[in-house]
Structure formats: structure tokens, C-alpha cells
Structure 1
Amino acid sequence: MYYKIKAADSLSKISKKFSIPVDLILSFNKQIKNPDHIYAGQLIFIPNLDDIPDDGKLVKPMKINKLLERAGSATGKKIKYKLGKGGMKPGAPLPASDSNECDCSGFVCWVLGLSRKSDIPFYKQHGGWIYTDSMVADVNSQSGIFEKITIPEEGCIVVYGAGSGIGHVGIVSEVEDGTMIKVIHCSSGNYKKHNDSILETGPDIFNRADSLWGRFALPI
């Protein structure tokens, strides 16, 4: 479950509240660099002890190479593009709907192990839906699941909102000297040109002033 930190909270208080050791909370929340520096409104993940193996080995957040491997596994599958489709079954082998259709938000949600229809508290104000505009709002907030970064890094999302058109989001797959080189994304343009909506391409479509980068700040 996700918990929004309150003004009087400390990790020790949260630990007692949920009967979860502080070390275990920290192991699931790598975004917390200093246990003494947490803030009101910050969203953290509280693990379910039933999900912890008996041998004591902790479930670790998805590493960047695994995230990129998952994103890449959806390329070359001839998935059709359809706005509003895909990303509902994070445990499925591919992000597409039963009709083999997907859009950019559905693809990114699937890569991150999320359903695009979510119970994450931040997204309640967006009807529970994770889509480009709600991801932009998340990146610009301090209480969502993405941490805003100013220099792209491999495995982060790159996103811009709909505005007067259609928004777009993808997974940055290659960075060189602080510059995006490649992005894995699902788009109608990919589908029209290559009959395959999910491809790794250059970043041209994201090279615009309103694009944002966000690091997924919670474990998958």
C-alpha cells in the first residue's frame, strides 16, 4: 500500500503504526536518501509482510537494466496503436489489450508494473487514471510516484501533456552526456510507418520545451 507522510510523522512512528521495521520500509523506498529527512505529503510504499519470503530476502525495486529489458521485450511484437488501450494488466507478458492494441500511457504503465487504472492516492484527483496529463502533474508535484529530474537518465520517463493536442510518454533507453539518444515508446506514428506501435527510436518527438523527465520513485 501507499502512505502519504503527515507533518508529525517520522519513520519510527510509521514503523510502529504499521508494525513494519524501519529497515524494511527503507529497502522498499530507495528515494529516501536520509531517514531523518522525510516531509509531509511525501508518498512512500508500505510493504505487506505476507509478501516477504520466509528466507528473509527482500523484494527489490526493479533495476534499470530489468526495466529496460521489460520495455524492450514489447518491441517487434506488431502491437496495434489505439488510444486508451493497453496497460490494464501489469502482470501480462505484453502491454496490449486482448485486441492487441495499446497506447503510450498503457505501455509505460505496464513497463513500470502498474495498471493504468490505479488506486495510488495521487491519481485519485485524476479519476484513478495514469495518463500523460496526470503523469505531468505527478512529475511537477512532490507527492506522486515520479521524482522530477532535470537531466535525463536511462530508465526514466519522458512525458508531455496533451495541451491542445495529444500528449506522449516513453521510457528513455539511452543517454549520452546528459542527452537523450533513444526512447522506447508506443505511438500512432510508429504504427503508421512500421506496422508496429512500440519501437525504440530517436528522441525527436520528445524534443520540445514542455517535455519533462521523471524517475520512478517507488518500488515495482
Structure 2
Amino acid sequence: MKVELLEYLRSLTSNTDSDEVETQCGENRNKETSNENIEYDSLNDEMEYQMYLFTLYCNHPVTGEFMESILEVHKDELLPTVLDKAYELMKLAPHIPIERCRLVKYHYVDDLMEQSFDLDEFQHQTIGQIVGRASRYYPFGLFLETCEESEISDKYHDGANNIMISVVDVSTGKGPAKPMRVEEGWTVRELKQHIGEVYSLNSSCMRLVMKNYNDVTDISDVGCTLEEIFRKSTHEDRQVLTLIL
């Protein structure tokens, strides 16, 4: 009887130890699974952080249609690779070769081409190096700009601006408004010289009048920079009328 009782007690102890071991193993497995999930989520977050999203714009070279899409690239991709992806995303082949395309930093609201990313200057840089700070979403977009076969595109850089110029000869009437890119640091005198070079005009026989909304202001003799003059105007309504005397 005593022997049977001892055997029974041993079996209870053995079962209890087995249950404790199994419970401990289960807890370890759950802990390992939890750690793996945390590591997996962290890896996903890191990979997502390294992917950049840009709104990509383009005027179709054949139809002229204004197109918009989302371009996703890795921060370590070189500019030529990013350009190739943008070219494929907008489906510009076979309408125009990629050699006649470039990416431009673009602000949609202001319709402003702020900085061109030309391959001769940026081809060895990654998109992360070009756009600077690390962020998944950027407050500006990218414009896939195209040019004609014989056209040489001007380089855009920060600190420049787009305005509309109308050349008006008082003896013949108003001419059509055309876009012109100017430097914000220019004085009115430098703007006159630039307009004179573009339109083959004598800058000394020129008056500049700025039209913004319904107001017209003579800025011919203003002694400040264009940045100060345009500070309170908007890109949509900004227009300079050149009056020829």
C-alpha cells in the first residue's frame, strides 16, 4: 500500500513538472514570436521610411495633356534611374526620347518651376542627396519636362521666379504676354537689361509697369530688388507690362 502511494505521489510530481516545463516553453515561444513581429514591423517601417513619394506632373509632348501621377522611388536611387522610372510612368515612349526629358522641382499651386535637376550636374547623386531632408512625403512635386529636338533648356535654380511679360508699343498696341524667368535678386535695371536682350529693345527707352489683380504700378525707377517688389503679389496674377516710349 505504501509503495503504491509513493508511486502515485511521484506521478503527480512528474506531471506537475512537465506542465511547468510546457508552460515555460509556450511562454518562450510567444516571447520569440512577439520579438519577431516587433523586428518585422521595425524593418517594414525602416524600408517605408527609405521610400520617397512625389507627385509627378508632365505635359504630354504630343497631345499637350497635363498629366499627374505618383512616383515612388528609393532614397538611394541615382537620378538617371529616377528619371527612367518617371519616363516609364508617364509612358512617353515612343513619342519622345528620354534624352530630351529632365526632372524639375515643381510647385503646383504657384505653377513654379523652381529647380532643374540636369544630368550633367546631378547624374552621380541619389534622389535623397538631391532633395535633402529625409521625408516620405514632400511639399513639392516633380515635373517631367520635355524639350524640342533642337532646343536647349535653360537651367532653373532656387531663387528664380516666373513672371509674364507683355511688350507694348504705344503706337501699335498691346502685345501678347509671354513667360519669362527672372532672378529675385535682380534690380529693376537688371530686369530691363534682360528684357532688352530677349526682345532686342533699348532698355533706356523702356518703362516697366506691374499689373497685379486690378492694380497697375509703375516700377521703372524703383530702387529695390524684384523679390521685394513681388513679395505681396501672387504667381497667378503677377504680370509685368513693358511700355515702349
User: What TM-score results when the alignment is normalised by the length of structure 2?
Assistant: 0.27
Normalized per residue, which structure has more helix? 2
Taking CA–CA contacts closer than 8 Å with sequence separation of 6 or more, which of the two structures ends up with the larger relative contact order?
Answer: 1
**Rg larger in structure:** 2
